[in-house]
Chains A and B, each alone.
Chain A
Amino acid sequence: MKRRIFAVFLLAAFAFSLAACGQQPSEPTTPASSAGPSAEPSAEPDAEGWVPDKMVTFMVPTGAGGSSDLFARKIAEIAEKYEFCPVSINIENRSGGSSTIGFSYLNSLRGGDLDNYTLGITPPGFWTSPLSGVIDVYGIDDFAEVSAMAADPLCVVVNSDSPFKTFSDVVEYAKEHPGELKCLGGGQLSDETILTYMINDLLGIELSYITMTDGSNVLAAALGNHADLYILNPADGAEHFTNGTLIPLAISTEEPVESFEYIPTFVSQGYDIVHQQTRALVMNSSVSQEVIDFFSDMLQKVSETPEWEEYLTDSGLADIYLNSADFDEYNDELVASYEKYIAMVMEDREE
């Protein structure tokens, strides 16, 4: 009998340790690469300035395996490979509540031991959640801009069965039939939503935005042609674009994106519409400029590696590296734009 109980305990202990592993990607460890030795402080620190002396954490406010998570892991991998960072970098997922759980945590580090060592990755919820009042515990000003690394373009897509062949066909039709065209996008208050409202606002048309749970649902609906227009991240639909089942009408970047050169921009078709999901890193605003400078430099070095370029091309991201000062400036524009369109969305929904 005793032996049996012991067996069960063993089993339980094993299971517990497994469960403990389960939380690993979210809590400590899971170094993005196994570069163990580099965990010690660098032997040759920069002549001056702050250098991290303990493990740096990238806080990802979404789940493991998602696009923000892969983005964070890629940066960590490159930084460790080239030893841009004297200490190891670990990825911590704190998902939930449209990224408010993660940023509440980052905000709570203010003045503590970890604020100098923790960077947050920004999904769209970084802007939309506080600006729309989903959360009032923190604001965007509670975070310091470190670097913007990349941007996700979005594109307006139709099924090949659609009567529309170009974006101006859509605009022409929509002008005569306000409210008739249904446009699907993922998320109630996402960059897809913002882009739709921006199109409506700037072109004086009225597309009805319908929320799908996420991008993969939009893609499924587009393939089955269940609505009129679909807003997709081009990386999700690329295979179907080359296949001819879906036709991308316009992409939301200023210049054509390298991996999707065949998609015309809104701008090239005479519509002044530019909006991208910015992928950036921020820190608690309590950290000093020295700390920010260190990470800004580190990220700049990462952005200049061939691996990073390859990652951007593979994931269909636009290269927009901005250092902390430039990102600070750019972020003001971003916030203003988000504020304007979120207000429109909210007004629309109150009716």
Chain B
Amino acid sequence: MDVLSNLAMGFVTIFTQPISLVYCLIGVIAGVLIGALPGLGPAMGIAILLPLTYGTEPVFGLILLTGIYYGAMYGGAITSILINTPGEAAAVMTALDGYPMAVNGQAEKALGMAGIASVIGGTICVVAFMFCAPLLAEYAVKFGPAEYFALMVLGMSSISGMTGKHPGKSFLAAAIGLFIATIGIDPQIGSQRFTFGNPNLLDGINFVPVAMGLFGIAEIIGIPEETNSELVNRKFSMKKLFPTKKEWKLCMPHIASGSIIGFLIGALPGAGATIASFISYDFAKRIAPPERKKLFGTGIIEGVAAPESANNAASVGALVPMLTLGIPGSNATAVMMGALMMHKIVPGPTIFAREGEMVWGLVASMYVGNVILFIVSISALTLFVQILKVKPGVLNAIVLGFIFVGAYAYSNSLFVVGLATFFGVLGFIMKKFELPAAPMVLALVLGSLTESNLRQALLLADGNFLKVISTPISSVVLVLAFLIAFGNPMLTAVKRRSAKRAARQK
């Protein structure tokens, strides 16, 4: 019951100082906007608003920054759904079903579900955070390079769930993504690969301009061919925001599993919300009943619910290693940790004992913050949905402007704008050849992580590959990955054979 009394103390902290609610509100609103703008991820948002926290008490600062963090997780979904341009990496999967939903005239529903799933995912994980943060921290450090490698392979195996009609084409797209991931400085020995002496390429090609191009720009180039003019002049209704009973039933299991997956993966430093959303989407597709399974990718509400609950859950999970071990799992948490250190709060195993008031105030603020997020998202939607009423010609020009500004803001260089344009053209060509973009982005995100972890693991194991794949955790995860990738074809093969045998016996 310690936890509950501590939580009560946390609530006292924030409600006796109502200004903390203002910080929370600012954080969430800023987060939603920043997440919605392609190119501005939560890490940059936190860095921008960091100066605001200099003069405040640390707990308020942290409340503001975490508000940005989970607000951005939701904000990313808005542009994914409305204009097919993921605002940040964790929202890529949301675009897969969210955008088709918008095209089918169900934008409100997709946005509403994204909000609801985010809030539920976030809230479930705050509870989990309270009860098992220290335990989880212990589990997180069990993951060494070998285990991370296995986890990345698991993430990659979810490509097999995205294949659609032509598995070969998906794998081709993934291979291109893997190739792009090799550009830049070699992660182990530092030699340059495919950089052609251009310093802009030394850090490799980031996911952001690639997603902007492949999803956003390619979509705009493709529009004149497939006009979505029926979107214009549609009536917006608040009712449509909320899912029906039937949809609730369809989504609940996915939100639940998404939250758990998100929390567990988010708690691993280095894995984070993006991978959580990939795996959760794939998992949702696999556990769905066969008649729904086929519909994934065509615009169904479960396809939005699963990744959105996972990425918000992961943003809470990511706080675990940051606070309890002092290990930031992502850029966003790294900047947050910098902010804490500036306030002389040293994260570490004893933070709950040393800074109890602050940590529990933060936990309490996350409950309140999720409620605020819900209200903000619902009221903002009426505004955002107006976007759909704009004539495609006008909208596309604005969206393109958005993307270019976002690309420039990403690192203050025109090079990234050029990259986004290049990938836009590439994305259009890929569309023409029916090469799906999602596996490419997934391979790009996971590729470099897979490589560096595999190489670290191999070096640690003196080059013995068997040693890498046979640690307890990695072997279990790899078997899981194998089953995900090849389970279905094997099952069909077995079925076919037994059917044949049965026929022969007759």
Question: Chain A interface (Cβ within 8 Å of chain B)?
Answer: 4-5, 7-9, 11-12, 15-16, 18-27, 30, 63-67, 69-70, 93-98, 100-101, 104, 132, 134-135, 137, 182, 184, 188-189, 208, 210-213, 216-217, 219-221, 223-224, 226-227, 236-240, 243, 245, 314-315, 349
Q: B92: shortest Cβ distance to chain A, in Å?
A: 20
Q: Which residues of B contact A18 (CB under 8 A)?
A: 33-34, 37, 40
Q: Which residues of B contact A9 (CB under 8 A)?
A: 398
CB contact between B409 and one of A19, A70, A184 (< 8 Å): that residue? A19
| Cross-chain contact B386 with A8 (CB below 8 angstroms) | yes
> Given A4-B386, A227-B460, A314-B344, are A100 and B202 also a contact pair (CB < 8 Å)?
yes
> Given A7-B386, A96-B411, are A19 and B347 also a contact pair (CB < 8 Å)?
no
CB contact between B269 and one of A97, A217, A243 (< 8 Å): that residue? A217
Q: Which residues of B contact A211 (CB under 8 A)?
A: 187-190, 452, 456
Considering the chains assembled together, what is the distance between the CA atoms of A9 and B390 in angstroms?
10
Interface residues of B in 383-409 (CB under 8 A from A): 383, 386-387, 389-391, 394-395, 398, 401-402, 405-406, 408-409
Q: Which residues of A contact B199 (CB under 8 A)?
A: 96-97, 100-101, 104, 135, 137
| Cross-chain contact A96 with B327 (CB below 8 angstroms) | no
Q: Identify the closest chain A residue to B394 (Cβ).
A: A5
A-B contact pairs, 25 of them (CB 8 A): A4-B389, A11-B386, A12-B402, A23-B412, A25-B47, A26-B412, A70-B342, A93-B412, A96-B200, A96-B202, A100-B199, A135-B199, A188-B190, A208-B459, A211-B188, A211-B189, A213-B452, A216-B326, A216-B327, A239-B346, A239-B347, A243-B348, A243-B350, A245-B349, A314-B344
Interface residues of B in 429-450 (CB under 8 A from A): none
Q: Identify the closest chain A residue to B137 (Cβ).
A: A223
Q: A95-B411, A188-B189, A239-B348 are in contact. List 7 more A-B contacts (CB 8 A).
A: A19-B409, A22-B45, A64-B50, A98-B203, A211-B190, A216-B328, A223-B325
Q: Which residues of A contact B373 (CB under 8 A)?
A: none
Q: Which residues of A contact B270 (CB under 8 A)?
A: 213, 217, 220
Q: Which residues of B contact A184 (CB under 8 A)?
A: 456
CB contact between A97 and one of B40, B203, B328 (< 8 Å): that residue? B203
Interface residues of B in 41-56 (CB under 8 A from A): 43-48, 50-51
**What 9 pairs between A and B have smallest CB-CB spacing?**
A239-B348, A188-B190, A226-B144, A65-B335, A97-B202, A64-B47, A224-B141, A22-B409, A223-B141
Q: Which residues of A contact B48 (CB under 8 A)?
A: 21-22, 24-25, 64
Q: Which residues of A contact B203 (CB under 8 A)?
A: 96-98
CB contact between A30 and one of B51, B190, B390, B402 (< 8 Å): that residue? B51
How would residues 110 to 122 of chain B score, 1 for a CB under 8 Å from any chain A CB and 0 otherwise? 0000000000000
Q: A99: shortest Cβ distance to chain B, in Å?
A: 10
For residue B213, CB closer than 8 A to chain A, the reply is: no
Considering the chains assembled together, what is the distance between the CA atoms of A243 and B352 in angstroms?
14
Q: Identify the closest chain B residue to A24 (Cβ).
A: B48
B contact patch SS: helix
Q: Identify the closest chain A residue to B389 (Cβ).
A: A4
Kindly name the residue among B331, B334, B411 whose own CB sees the greatest number of chain A CB atoms within 10 A: B411
| Cross-chain contact A224 with B190 (CB below 8 angstroms) | no
Q: Identify the closest chain A residue to B139 (Cβ).
A: A224
Q: Identify the closest chain B residue to A31 (Cβ).
A: B51
For residue B339, CB closer than 8 A to chain A, the reply is: yes
Number of contacting residues on B, CB 8 A?
A: 75
Q: Which residues of B contact A224 (CB under 8 A)?
A: 141-144
Considering the chains assembled together, what is the distance between the CA atoms of A113 and B210 in angstroms?
36
| Cross-chain contact A188 with B185 (CB below 8 angstroms) | yes
Q: Which residues of A contact B46 (CB under 8 A)?
A: 65
For residue B16, CB closer than 8 A to chain A, the reply is: no
| Cross-chain contact A19 with B342 (CB below 8 angstroms) | no
Q: Identify the closest chain B residue to A3 (Cβ).
A: B386
Q: B137: shortest Cβ distance to chain A, in Å?
A: 9
Q: B367: shortest Cβ distance to chain A, in Å?
A: 26
Q: Which residues of A contact B192 (CB under 8 A)?
A: 134
Q: B111: shortest Cβ distance to chain A, in Å?
A: 15
| Cross-chain contact B342 with A188 (CB below 8 angstroms) | no
Q: Which residues of A contact B190 (CB under 8 A)?
A: 132, 134, 188-189, 211, 349
Q: Identify the closest chain B residue to A212 (Cβ).
A: B456
For residue B341, CB closer than 8 A to chain A, the reply is: yes
Considering the chains assembled together, what is the distance between the CA atoms of A134 and B442 in angstroms?
29
Considering the chains assembled together, what is the distance between the CA atoms of A24 and B47 in angstroms?
10
CB contact between B390 and one of A4, A21, A22 (< 8 Å): that residue? A4
